[in-house]
Structure 1
Amino acid sequence: MTELNEDGRGLTRAELFALPVTVDVATAARALGLGRSTGYELVRRGKFPCRVLQVGSSYRVPTAELMRILGLAPEDTSAA
Protein backbone atom coordinates (compact mmCIF):
# COMPACT_ATOMS: atom_id res chain seq x y z
CA MET A 1 0.00 0.00 0.00
CA THR A 2 1.18 3.48 -0.79
CA GLU A 3 1.29 5.55 2.38
CA LEU A 4 2.43 9.01 1.40
CA ASN A 5 0.82 12.23 1.99
CA GLU A 6 0.88 15.93 2.48
CA ASP A 7 1.72 16.52 -1.21
CA GLY A 8 -1.52 15.06 -2.56
CA ARG A 9 -0.27 11.59 -3.53
CA GLY A 10 -1.48 8.35 -2.02
CA LEU A 11 -3.56 8.01 1.14
CA THR A 12 -2.36 7.32 4.65
CA ARG A 13 -3.77 4.38 6.64
CA ALA A 14 -5.80 6.81 8.77
CA GLU A 15 -7.25 8.46 5.64
CA LEU A 16 -8.16 5.05 4.20
CA PHE A 17 -10.05 4.00 7.34
CA ALA A 18 -11.91 7.34 7.37
CA LEU A 19 -13.36 6.82 3.87
CA PRO A 20 -17.13 6.55 3.40
CA VAL A 21 -18.82 3.35 2.13
CA THR A 22 -18.10 4.26 -1.50
CA VAL A 23 -15.63 6.66 -3.05
CA ASP A 24 -15.20 8.25 -6.46
CA VAL A 25 -12.75 6.82 -8.97
CA ALA A 26 -10.22 9.61 -8.39
CA THR A 27 -10.03 8.80 -4.65
CA ALA A 28 -9.81 5.05 -5.27
CA ALA A 29 -7.09 5.58 -7.87
CA ARG A 30 -5.17 7.78 -5.43
CA ALA A 31 -5.41 5.10 -2.73
CA LEU A 32 -3.93 2.63 -5.23
CA GLY A 33 -1.11 5.01 -6.14
CA LEU A 34 -2.58 5.76 -9.58
CA GLY A 35 -3.33 9.06 -11.19
CA ARG A 36 -6.89 10.26 -11.78
CA SER A 37 -6.67 9.92 -15.58
CA THR A 38 -5.24 6.42 -15.32
CA GLY A 39 -8.04 5.44 -12.94
CA TYR A 40 -10.75 6.62 -15.30
CA GLU A 41 -9.01 5.01 -18.28
CA LEU A 42 -8.92 1.66 -16.45
CA VAL A 43 -12.64 2.02 -15.62
CA ARG A 44 -13.41 2.82 -19.26
CA ARG A 45 -11.56 -0.33 -20.37
CA GLY A 46 -13.12 -2.48 -17.64
CA LYS A 47 -9.67 -3.05 -16.08
CA PHE A 48 -9.94 -1.20 -12.75
CA PRO A 49 -8.52 -3.53 -10.05
CA CYS A 50 -11.78 -3.69 -8.06
CA ARG A 51 -15.51 -3.48 -8.71
CA VAL A 52 -16.82 -0.14 -9.95
CA LEU A 53 -20.50 0.77 -9.69
CA GLN A 54 -22.10 3.12 -12.19
CA VAL A 55 -24.60 5.40 -10.47
CA GLY A 56 -26.26 7.56 -13.08
CA SER A 57 -23.44 9.26 -14.93
CA SER A 58 -20.86 8.80 -12.16
CA TYR A 59 -18.79 5.88 -10.94
CA ARG A 60 -18.36 4.74 -7.32
CA VAL A 61 -15.92 2.22 -5.86
CA PRO A 62 -16.97 0.25 -2.76
CA THR A 63 -14.47 1.07 -0.02
CA ALA A 64 -14.59 -2.52 1.32
CA GLU A 65 -13.32 -3.81 -2.03
CA LEU A 66 -10.65 -1.13 -2.16
CA MET A 67 -9.48 -2.16 1.32
CA ARG A 68 -9.44 -5.81 0.24
CA ILE A 69 -7.25 -4.99 -2.77
CA LEU A 70 -4.90 -3.08 -0.46
CA GLY A 71 -4.77 -6.00 1.99
CA LEU A 72 -6.47 -4.10 4.80
CA ALA A 73 -9.23 -5.64 6.91
CA PRO A 74 -11.74 -3.74 9.08
CA GLU A 75 -10.14 -5.18 12.22
CA ASP A 76 -6.91 -3.36 11.25
CA THR A 77 -8.42 -0.06 12.42
CA SER A 78 -6.54 -0.23 15.72
CA ALA A 79 -3.34 0.28 13.72
CA ALA A 80 -4.65 3.51 12.19
Structure 2
Amino acid sequence: MTGTPLTFAEIFGLPLAVDLRTAARALGIHPETAYRLIRIGRFPCPVVRVGNRYRVPTAFLLDTLGVDQVPVYAEDLETGVRYAAREMEEPG
Protein backbone atom coordinates (compact mmCIF):
# COMPACT_ATOMS: atom_id res chain seq x y z
CA MET A 1 0.00 0.00 0.00
CA THR A 2 1.21 3.52 -0.72
CA GLY A 3 0.88 6.06 2.08
CA THR A 4 -1.46 5.77 5.01
CA PRO A 5 -5.16 4.99 4.77
CA LEU A 6 -7.51 7.97 4.85
CA THR A 7 -8.72 9.03 8.25
CA PHE A 8 -12.40 9.16 9.12
CA ALA A 9 -12.37 12.98 8.86
CA GLU A 10 -10.54 12.89 5.50
CA ILE A 11 -13.10 10.51 4.04
CA PHE A 12 -15.92 12.90 4.88
CA GLY A 13 -14.05 15.79 3.28
CA LEU A 14 -13.79 14.15 -0.14
CA PRO A 15 -15.16 15.90 -3.25
CA LEU A 16 -17.98 14.40 -5.38
CA ALA A 17 -15.53 12.15 -7.21
CA VAL A 18 -11.95 11.14 -6.47
CA ASP A 19 -9.04 9.81 -8.48
CA LEU A 20 -8.23 6.12 -8.34
CA ARG A 21 -5.25 6.59 -6.01
CA THR A 22 -7.41 8.34 -3.42
CA ALA A 23 -10.09 5.65 -3.72
CA ALA A 24 -7.46 2.94 -3.31
CA ARG A 25 -6.09 4.72 -0.24
CA ALA A 26 -9.60 4.95 1.26
CA LEU A 27 -10.09 1.22 0.65
CA GLY A 28 -6.66 0.36 2.03
CA ILE A 29 -5.37 -1.20 -1.18
CA HIS A 30 -2.30 -0.48 -3.28
CA PRO A 31 -2.96 1.64 -6.41
CA GLU A 32 -1.52 -1.07 -8.67
CA THR A 33 -4.01 -3.52 -7.16
CA ALA A 34 -6.80 -1.03 -7.84
CA TYR A 35 -5.83 -0.84 -11.54
CA ARG A 36 -5.63 -4.63 -11.72
CA LEU A 37 -9.10 -4.97 -10.14
CA ILE A 38 -10.53 -2.51 -12.68
CA ARG A 39 -8.98 -4.43 -15.58
CA ILE A 40 -10.63 -7.67 -14.45
CA GLY A 41 -13.92 -5.96 -13.56
CA ARG A 42 -13.62 -6.60 -9.81
CA PHE A 43 -13.07 -3.13 -8.31
CA PRO A 44 -15.35 -2.98 -5.24
CA CYS A 45 -17.34 0.05 -6.43
CA PRO A 46 -18.32 1.68 -9.74
CA VAL A 47 -15.55 3.51 -11.59
CA VAL A 48 -15.94 6.09 -14.35
CA ARG A 49 -13.33 6.45 -17.05
CA VAL A 50 -12.73 10.06 -18.05
CA GLY A 51 -10.29 10.17 -20.95
CA ASN A 52 -7.34 8.10 -19.84
CA ARG A 53 -8.07 8.53 -16.11
CA TYR A 54 -10.38 6.79 -13.69
CA ARG A 55 -12.69 8.64 -11.29
CA VAL A 56 -14.63 7.05 -8.45
CA PRO A 57 -17.86 8.78 -7.37
CA THR A 58 -17.52 9.44 -3.66
CA ALA A 59 -21.11 8.32 -2.96
CA PHE A 60 -20.26 4.82 -4.26
CA LEU A 61 -16.98 4.81 -2.35
CA LEU A 62 -18.74 5.70 0.90
CA ASP A 63 -21.34 3.01 0.25
CA THR A 64 -18.58 0.45 -0.31
CA LEU A 65 -16.99 1.54 2.96
CA GLY A 66 -20.34 1.02 4.71
CA VAL A 67 -20.93 4.69 5.40
CA ASP A 68 -24.63 5.52 5.08
CA GLN A 69 -24.62 9.20 5.96
CA VAL A 70 -22.09 11.96 6.29
CA PRO A 71 -22.13 13.12 9.92
CA VAL A 72 -21.44 16.62 11.14
CA TYR A 73 -17.92 17.88 10.67
CA ALA A 74 -15.19 16.06 12.60
CA GLU A 75 -14.39 19.23 14.54
CA ASP A 76 -18.02 19.36 15.67
CA LEU A 77 -17.81 15.75 16.84
CA GLU A 78 -14.66 16.48 18.83
CA THR A 79 -16.27 19.56 20.39
CA GLY A 80 -19.34 17.47 21.29
CA VAL A 81 -17.18 14.81 22.93
CA ARG A 82 -15.33 17.43 24.99
CA TYR A 83 -18.65 19.02 26.00
CA ALA A 84 -20.14 15.67 27.02
CA ALA A 85 -17.03 14.79 29.04
CA ARG A 86 -17.20 18.14 30.83
CA GLU A 87 -20.91 17.64 31.59
CA MET A 88 -20.20 14.20 33.09
CA GLU A 89 -17.48 15.64 35.34
CA GLU A 90 -19.64 18.42 36.81
CA PRO A 91 -21.74 17.43 39.81
CA GLY A 92 -25.43 17.45 38.96
TM-score, scaled to structure 2: 0.72
Aligned equivalents of 2:17 and 2:9: distance in 1? Answer: 16
User: How big is each residue's C-alpha offset from its partner over 1:10-36, in whole Å with a ceiling of 9 and x where there is no partner?
Assistant: 111110011110011111011011011
Letter in 2 for 1:24: D
Query: Partner of 1:8: helix, strand, or coil?
Result: coil
Q: Given the alignment of the two structures, is residue 46 of structure 1 paired with residue 41 of structure 2, yes or no?
A: yes
Larger of the two Rg values belongs to structure: 2
The answer to whether structure 1 residue 10 and structure 2 residue 5 are counterparts is yes
Q: What is the TM-score when the length of structure 1 is the normalising length?
A: 0.82
2:71 paired residue among 64, 71, 77? 77
1:49-60 map, 5 Å: 49-60=44-55
Moved over 4 A (4+): none
Q: Aligned-pair distance for 1:48?
A: 0.2
Identify the structure with the greater helix proportion.
2
Query: Is the contact made by 1:26 and 1:40 (CA closer than 8 Å) also made in structure 2?
Result: no
Q: Which runs of 5+ in 1 are unaligned?
A: 1-6
Q: Residue type of the partner of 1:21? A: L
Question: What code does the residue aligned with 1:34 have?
Answer: I
Once the two structures are TM-superposed, the CA of residue 77 in structure 1 deviates from its matched residue by 1.8
Give 5+ residue unaligned stretches, structure 2.
Answer: 75-92
